[in-house]
Structure 1
Amino acid sequence: MAFIVMISTMSFVVDLHYCGETLVDKAIFHTVETCGMDMENPLADGCSIEKESCCSDEQLVLDGQDELQQSANKITFEQQVFIASFIYTHINLFEGLEKEVIPFRDYKPPFLIRDFQKIHETYLI
């Protein structure tokens, strides 16, 4: 639930670089790489010839939500009863035993009269 709230409130910018009609590069968290055909003025201030570049940059801004509804105060009585009974039953499930019960604590193992593994030479490896 927290992940959905975080994604819905997050806003980011998508940068796109077009060369003519073709999409060359797109970027979300860094700057776009150009195709290298940008028109730069190689001469100093005396040049008056200007030509339009075939390249264009575009930015798409995706805005997240600014307002969140807090519905914690709108819980009905039936929902409160359900939540209380759910918590009460699940807390009682995790109560442990007061002490550890070992059912064979009072019994002693039988005497070993013959070692059958040694007699039949069958050993567990």
Structure 2
Amino acid sequence: MKKAFQYSLSILMAVVVLFSTFSFTVDSHYCGKFLVDKAVFSKAKTCGMDLAVKSDSFSEDPCCSNQKTAVEGQDELKISFHSFDLDQQLFISTFTFAYFNLFEGLPQQIVPFKDYSPPLLVTDIQLVDQVFLI
């Protein structure tokens, strides 16, 4: 359960980073006050009224309008180790070294009698020998 949660959280974080760096343009075509078409990554389809306005010499005021909305992504995700000053580089390298050596495993202890079972006790030896701890 814990591994599945960590896996799904890492996928979610990767998707968030991907979409935060993603930039796109939304193109909208309005005829008067009404939205006719909205398109992402391409040009919006027109209603055909802009061609009629150009051919008609009486109407000077066009009723159609195009609107572009650009959504810029984040460009500041790259952090270089060389952009830090000497004190920051020293701290990062020392912290990394100490962190990775913190989780160094202990040497495996060898137990020579782990495969042997203890002997069966038939009687209580302390009672038979009359030896008691005071």
> TM-score of the superposition, structure 2-length normalised?
0.45
Which structure is higher in RCO with an 8 Å CA cutoff and minimum separation 6?
A: 1
User: Which protein is richer in helix relative to its size?
Assistant: 2
